[in-house]
Amino acid sequence: MSIRVFLVDDQALVRSGFRMLLEAEDDVDVVGEAADGCAAVQALRTTPTDVVLMDIRMPRMDGVEATQRISDERLPARVLVLTTFDLDEYVYAALRAGASGFLLKDARPDELLSAIRNVAAGDAVVAPSATRRLLAHVVPHLGRPGSDRPDPRLRVLTAREIDVLREIAAGATNAEIGGRLYLAEGTVKTHIGRLLAKLEIRDRVGLVLFAYDVGLVPR
């Protein structure tokens, strides 16, 4: 089955460019588009969609609020946020609102296509280079532990799971984590699945934010 993609951007030329790129792929189908978040949410209520490519800064309703509406209404579409470097501060809010990941707008076509396929498969997209730039902006806004004691939420994790969590927060891929911790890639996936279940976190993006929120990674 084709991946159903909905485009949300206030620039018609940008939407046209994305549409041309995506419709050239056999496994991707653009099912609709909107110029602002309000129109997008209304359309998504009746348009079966797998992945939403969501711009951040738009008139009437921005991408953060639109993402929050999609989450609040439990619409099945997963949101992939597209942003420019100087708008990274908005991305943290979008991830908190329920976005499954983000890409910079200058990402290569193959990176965009890979991100769409990963998000559609239920994974999160956290590009290592972009993650580090994002965290440089958002870490100062995260909660600060009141003492040097480990956060109680970490007690449910094994030492190896904490090692894997640190690597995820550093932007490492599954293959890189396996190489650094001397684990098979399948074992890494098992540890990640356990992390998601134990912490009741939906995806990899949430794990990154959690690691910083509990002070597991130096700020």
Query: What CATH number is given to the structural domain containing 15?
Result: 3.40.50.2300
Residues 85 and 117 in one domain: yes
Structurally, how many domains does the chain consist of?
Answer: 2
Predicted confidence at residue 134, as pLDDT, reads 58
Domain that holds residue 208: 145-213
> Looking at 94, 122, 138, which one is the last position of a domain?
138
Predicted confidence at residue 4, as pLDDT, reads 94
Residues 186 and 129 in one domain: no
What stretches in the chain show pLDDT beneath 70?
A: 85-91, 126-150, 218-219
Predicted confidence at residue 85, as pLDDT, reads 55
Residues 95 and 169 in one domain: no
Can you list the alpha helix ranges (DSSP code H) found in the chain? 12-23, 37-44, 63-72, 88-97, 109-120, 128-138, 159-169, 174-181, 185-199, 204-213
Predicted confidence at residue 87, as pLDDT, reads 53
Predicted confidence at residue 201, as pLDDT, reads 84
Residues 202 and 99 in one domain: no
Residues 121 and 78 in one domain: yes
Residues 132 and 160 in one domain: no
Query: What does the pLDDT look like over 21-31, one tens digit per residue?
Result: 999 999 999 99
Predicted confidence at residue 147, as pLDDT, reads 45
